[in-house]
Amino acid sequence: MSAAAIPVEQIKTITMSIYRYDPTVDEKPYMQDLVVEIPTDKDIMVLDALHLAKQQEPSLSYRRSCREGVCGSDGMNINGKNGLACVTPLSEVLKRNKITLRPMPGLPVVRDLIVDMKQFFDQLEKVKPYLITKSDSPDIERKQTPEDREELDGLYECILCGCCSTSCPSFWWNPDKFLGPAALLQSWRFIADTRDEATEERLDDLEDAFSLYRCHGIMNCVSVCPKGLNPTEAISNIRNKLLTREKN
């Protein structure tokens, strides 16, 4: 999209205050205000506005791929609240013609709006986010009733954008010990799966002071999830399962 091709009467200017940091040049990050011309005949997304800003400032860096809320690449902190730039309408977040963009909190900044997601994916890896089976494989496939399958609704949709975990104070202070809402949602996704045969081991792995129990129900995760999922409820389900299971 090029602002130059739009008739003048359909353009307005907004200020985008963007977190900038280039490790090869900058000692410290700083906020840069860019005045950007945006079209007024349609409501563009924050990501579109970023593209327009990048035409002015080609060194501006951010991740993006599918630009429709599926790949989970462009998670960022928009006016203080995490979200996906590609599915956040600019009109919803503009305040007095201004928008502030920062990288997702709590993770090391690689450059500008790009954070290093290693800690996030390390935590995901710990919950073994795949089906574990011990019985012999059936001839065709492991089947589920539609009701059992329904248990996974609200869990399988996670796109691992990291918005939830990086908005969670418990994850900020203990990113290596507390698994974080995203990983715990996936943990429950496999505990709740009737085809999975490692429920006990999964629960054993969570039974320490930090992995799961560092969740204090702050619910920032629920309020930011761009897919409308509820990690707090998943965490509560795991907790109940841990408390009610018969100890061997």
Residues that bind other proteins (CB under 8 A): 19, 21, 23, 28-29, 77, 79-81, 100, 102-110, 115-116, 119, 167, 169, 172, 175-176, 216-220, 222-223, 230, 232-233, 236, 239-240
The pairing of beta strand 75-78 with beta strand 98-102: antiparallel
**CB of residue 27 to other proteins, shortest distance in Å:** 10
Q: Cβ of 246: how many Cβ atoms within 10 Å?
A: 5
Gyration radius (Cα) of the chain, Å: 21
Residue (65 or 240) nearer to other proteins, CB:
240
Rounded Cα distance between 83 and 67, Å, is 13
**CB of residue 73 to other proteins, shortest distance in Å:** 17
Query: Can you tell me which residue has the tokens 């990983």?
Result: 183
Residue (38 or 175) nearer to other proteins, CB:
175
Residue (23 or 89) nearer to other proteins, CB:
23
Torsion of CA 234, 235, 237, 242, to 10 degrees: 150
For residues 59 and 50, is the Cβ–Cβ distance under 8 A?
no
**CB of residue 5 to other proteins, shortest distance in Å:** 34
**CB of residue 204 to other proteins, shortest distance in Å:** 21
- Structural element, H or E, at residue 19: strand 11-20
Residue (77 or 186) nearer to other proteins, CB:
77
Rounded Cα distance between 179 and 63, Å, is 24
**CB of residue 177 to other proteins, shortest distance in Å:** 12
Residue (129 or 169) nearer to other proteins, CB:
169
Residue (76 or 160) nearer to other proteins, CB:
76
For residues 37 and 3, is the Cβ–Cβ distance under 8 A?
yes
Rounded Cα distance between 219 and 244, Å, is 24
**CB of residue 109 to other proteins, shortest distance in Å:** 5
Residue (176 or 204) nearer to other proteins, CB:
176
Question: Tokens for 152?
Answer: 């996974």
Write the CB contacts of 33 (distance below 8 Å, at least 6 apart in sequence).
15, 16, 17, 18
**CB of residue 115 to other proteins, shortest distance in Å:** 8
